[in-house]
Structures are given as C-alpha cells and as structure tokens.
C-alpha cells in the first residue's frame, strides 16, 4: 500500500439514454488521490456527480473509462481485493424490515465472506449503540437507529476505507454528534480512511482535513480545508462604535461599508489589496471612538459558493 487509500485517474461515467432522457455524462475525467488515514470531504451541488463517484468506488456503478485503485488494488485487475478494502454507508435507508440488527450484520458479513470465527457483530452493535435492539425487527427501529445500522453494515469486513454518503442528512443533532464521534474514533483508533459527502459545509469544515469540490462532473478544487478557505480574499472588519454613528465614515476605494442593526459598522474588502490598518485609520480619522473590534474570516461556505456559482449551469 502506498500513501494513498484511493487513486482515481481519468474517471468518466456516462449514463445511457433511457426513454426520452438523453445520455448523461455524470463524470468528465476525474483525477483524485485520497491519502490513507484522511477524513476527506467530497462536496458539490446537487447533481454534481458525488454519488456516481462514490457508487463507482463501491462497485455499485460501472465506470465508462478511467482507473480506480482502492488500497492499492486496481478495480479492474483485483476486483475482489479492491472491494474488500472499502465499506459504504449509503444515503438511502435500504434495510430489510424483517431482519434484526444482529441478523442484518451477520448476513452482510456472510456476503463479504467473513468466516464466523472472525465476525465482530457484538463489537459493532456496541459501537453503534444498538446492543439493546440487537434482536428487534428492523421495522421497529427509528430512522436514527436504522442509519446507525447502515454504518454498522459498512463495517462488518473491517474495511480500510469507509465511504459515507450524506451520513447526517436529516438526522437530529444528538445522532449527528454520535455518528461523528463513532467516525472520528474509527479514524483515530483504527486508522480508517474516511470519505464523506455532506451538504453541511460547517460539518465538513470541522471534520475534514482535506476536501475536493466537484461540479458538473469535474473536480474544480482539491486542497486542505485550511488552504481552501485561505484562498478567499474577502475579509470583513466589524467595528462597534462607542456612540451611535449617523453617517458611515469615508473609506478608501474598494471598501464596502454597511451598518448593522446593532449599530456596528462593517467593512468588507480584499485582504490582498487593502490593509486592515488603513480601514481602522479611516474610522478614527472620522472622529469615531472604537469600543470593540472584530474580524470575520471567510468560511467553507463562501469558498463553495464562489467556486460553484462561477461556472454556470450544466
């Protein structure tokens, strides 16, 4: 195994035409390397191609062309090994209602050819907090419990790479925290590489060390989360004046000024072009006494919006 858990080169996928629907090119030549041990975020607007990419990794969708290596195994050359190295928690709650969690995990382990003596069913039930429900029918489980069971099913063969497709979509905060605690633990204690898609950019910002942004079937950015956010040039300075200010002070060109409802003055400008000191100086020169001062840095949401909105529609 090299340093990368996943290596993707020139990956394309075109879904065939069906009925009145024309063929759809969902992936247009994706190159992507995901380092072993990472918590890696795959972000993009609806329809960008994230699920297609994940489903190809999982062996659920056939690629049209390109190379995929999972844990060093080429999907075309070593399909069995590459499949054994990856576990996928899908988006849909596709659980057989007549299986109990214990049975569902056992069946899944059987599908992966895990011998009975090597199964870790009890350990997984405990990790996902379903010990109490181990023998209840799945149809009696809450949505949150089913989701945890899906995570459990992805773990039966102890994969080195765990892929999570929107793991926390529509789940309450408590369950979200629990899922993340589980996932972080897997990453820290077992060194499992985690790849996830999420619509919660704040969550991606907190969880993922590295991120790829995919749009219209192409990777349009791939960097550490910090570096991606660092690319954004915008900065906002928020100044709370000692006394209410009627007319905002004159500013150097390129500074946008607004007054917030609480009376704070805010100034937005490009860090690369205007020094914060110059903005503060302009405020002081206008005779304003500053009570408090704060800056607002861009976040992942700003990066995402800027990158994905600049390319237009498909």
Say which residues have a Cβ less than 8 Å from residue 239's Cβ, sequence separation at least 6. Answer: 264, 265, 266, 267, 280, 283, 288, 290, 292, 293
Of 49, 152, 167, 249, which lies in the binding site for ligand ATP, with binding defined by CB under 6 A?
49
Of 4, 30, 34, 51, which lies in the binding site for ligand ATP, with binding defined by CB under 6 A?
51
Of 15, 99, 112, 137, which lies in the binding site for ligand ATP, with binding defined by CB under 6 A?
15
Residue 46 or 117 having the CB closest to ligand ATP: 46
3-state SS of 45-62 is CCCCCHHHHHHHHCCCCC
- Report the b/e string of 162-173 with b at 16+ CB within 10 A: bbbbbbbeebee
* Kind and range of the H or E run holding 41: strand 39-43
Query: Least Å distance between CB 199 and ligand ATP?
Result: 7
Binding-residue total with ligand ATP (CB under 6 A): 11
Should residue 50 be labelled a site residue for ligand ATP when binding is judged by CB under 6 A?
A: yes
Should residue 44 be labelled a site residue for ligand ATP when binding is judged by CB under 6 A?
A: yes
Stretch of 49-57, 111-119, 149-157, 167-175 lying at the interface with ligand ATP (CB under 6 A) = 49-57
Residue 16 or 173 having the CB closest to ligand ATP: 16
Residue 26 or 128 having the CB closest to ligand ATP: 26
Stretch of 48-56, 204-212, 226-234, 265-273 lying at the interface with ligand ATP (CB under 6 A) = 48-56
Query: Least Å distance between CB 177 and ligand ATP?
Result: 23
Residues in 18-37 at the binding interface with ligand ATP, rule: CB under 6 A: 24, 26
The helix/strand/coil state of 82 is: helix
Stretch of 42-50, 80-88, 169-177, 243-251 lying at the interface with ligand ATP (CB under 6 A) = 42-50
* Kind and range of the H or E run holding 73: strand 73-74
Query: Least Å distance between CB 60 and ligand ATP?
Result: 11
- Ranges assigned E (strand) in 185-259: 193-197, 210-215, 218-224, 234-241, 256-259
* Kind and range of the H or E run holding 30: strand 24-35
Report in angstroms the alpha-carbon separations of 223 from 42, 208, 220, 227, 282: 11, 11, 10, 6, 36
The binding site for ligand ATP (CB under 6 A) comprises 15, 24, 26, 44, 46-52
């Amino acid at each position: 195994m090299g340093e990368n858990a996943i290596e993707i080169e020139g990956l394309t996928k075109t879904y065939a035409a069906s009925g009145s629907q024309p063929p759809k090119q969902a992936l247009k030549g994706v190159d992507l390397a995901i380092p072993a041990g990472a918590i890696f975020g795959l972000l993009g607007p609806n329809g960008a191609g994230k699920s297609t990419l994940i489903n190809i990794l999982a062996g659920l969708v056939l690629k049209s062309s390109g190379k995929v290596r999972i844990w060093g195994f080429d999907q075309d050359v070593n399909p069995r090994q590459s499949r054994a190295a990856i576990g996928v928690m899908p988006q849909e709650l596709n659980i057989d209602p007549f299986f109990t969690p214990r049975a569902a995990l056992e069946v899944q382990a059987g599908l992966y050819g895990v011998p009975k003596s090597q199964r870790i069913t009890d350990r997984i039930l405990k990790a996902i907090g379903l010990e109490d429900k181990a023998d209840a029918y799945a149809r009696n489980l809450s949505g949150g419990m089913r989701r945890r069971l899906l995570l459990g099913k992805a773990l039966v063969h102890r994969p080195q790479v765990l892929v999570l497709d929107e793991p926390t979509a529509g789940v309450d905060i408590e369950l979200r925290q629990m899922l993340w605690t589980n996932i972080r633990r897997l990453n820290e204690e077992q060194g499992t590489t985690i790849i996830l898609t999420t619509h919660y950019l704040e969550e991606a910002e907190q969880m993922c060390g590295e991120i790829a942004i995919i749009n219209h079937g192409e990777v349009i950015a791939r960097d550490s989360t910090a570096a991606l956010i660092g690319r954004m040039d915008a900065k906002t300075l928020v100044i709370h004046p000692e006394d209410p200010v009627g007319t905002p002070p004159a500013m150097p060109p390129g500074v946008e000024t607004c007054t917030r409802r609480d009376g704070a003055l805010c100034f937005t400008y490009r860090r690369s072009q205007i020094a914060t000191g110059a903005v503060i100086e302009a405020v002081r020169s206008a005779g304003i006494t500053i009570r408090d001062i704060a800056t607002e840095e861009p976040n992942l949401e700003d990066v995402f919006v800027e990158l994905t909105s600049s390319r237009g529609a498909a």
